[in-house]
Structure 1
């Protein structure tokens, strides 16, 4: 079973879902607003929002007869936590590459 950090990365791997996600930092939007802004049908946007909600990247709240979608910080925290596990080894590899570069300077 994938962790939620992996679900976040999978959800954002799709170009349309990523575009939906990237359009929400400016503020909450309805399905219709998202569809119009991205040139995609409302039905398709709703399907993408379902996956983004399951990954905890967006949340929804009723506003009159509309539903407004906004970013959910829980999914961002999940992604950060997932990626942070790789940070020590990435820094070690970078340090090793720098050491190798200093030992083997390029020819003049």
Structure 2
């Protein structure tokens, strides 16, 4: 697993990272590279992105991390609050998340 491979394995890592941030009080998560042509940023580092663009073929690909962030942004709306989960559901990894308020 490394930056720039746009793998499902790395997307799972990002899922756990976002889950950790939200369950520990973060109000949001900013994703730096929404679209890249290839896997290299404008400053020359290998990076993942939500979308990859093939400028010659004029096509784009939704990468695995797109689906991770879509899961959160589709079902959890602004104003929703994370609830503390207790009991057996708090023992699984990653812990279950529950929201109160505006949820699709």
| TM-score for the superposition, normalised by structure 1 | 0.29
Indicate the structure whose relative CO is greater, using CA pairs within 8 Å and at least 6 residues apart.
Answer: 1
Q: Per residue, is there more strand in 1 or in 2?
A: 2
Structure possessing the higher radius of gyration over alpha carbons = 1
Q: Per residue, is there more helix in 1 or in 2?
A: 1
| TM-score for the superposition, normalised by structure 2 | 0.29
